[in-house]
Amino acid sequence: MANDFSRLDTVKFQERMKPAALSIYRQVFPECHVEDLREQGVRVHVLDKEFGIDALVHLTDGQWISLQEKYRRNAALKFLDFTQEYMNAVGTPGESLGEWFKLGAQLYFYGWANASETAFEKWAIIDIVKYKMLVESMGGLGAIGTLKKNWKHGRASFYAIPIQALQPCFVCDYRGFSNYGGV
């Protein structure tokens, strides 16, 4: 089963982009160590499964910061949207709440790969508490984004939110999202 999982195109893409993300984390959090908690075959870490935490960024003084990640392909850059998973297996007996309802990470790394998939062309690190408070103050996900369906991957529904709408939640960003220019 692990072999089948590792053959998925999305998993291969994540693996190609992981070094680029680690490089960014080391710029933002010098000398950090990143612990990956994502599913590895059939083994799923409880923090990933139940709280939407993909990684822990361990800082030099011993503390850590929890992190959710999403890497998008370069072709998706034209949309400049943040896609927030809402429901899984929509319309099936296995329908369940998506990432939005269990997102417990402190930060969210969100980036678009360059055309050669060797670096991120644009990226942001988002404070999740500020993000959730912004969505709440705007009247919910439906008021800030557009509900869409992705039947290709697990019959999921998600909200496409213009990334600029989330600018007040950025901890840092790179290449054009905000006035302060990132790191």
Between CA 135 and CA 166 the distance in angstroms is 9
pLDDT in tens, 25-40: 999 999 999 999 986 6
pLDDT in tens, 66-96: 999 999 999 999 999 999 999 999 999 999 9
Residues of the chain with pLDDT under 50: 1-3, 179-183
| Neighbour-count burial of 73, counting CB atoms closer than 10 A to its CB (0-12 exposed, 13-18 middle, 19+ buried) | middle
Between CA 128 and CA 140 the distance in angstroms is 15
Between CA 101 and CA 114 the distance in angstroms is 30
- Give the angle 160-80-126 at the CA atoms, nearest 5°: 80
Confidence at residue 180, expressed as pLDDT on a 0 to 100 scale: 36
Confidence at residue 58, expressed as pLDDT on a 0 to 100 scale: 97
Which amino acid is residue 34, in one-letter code? V
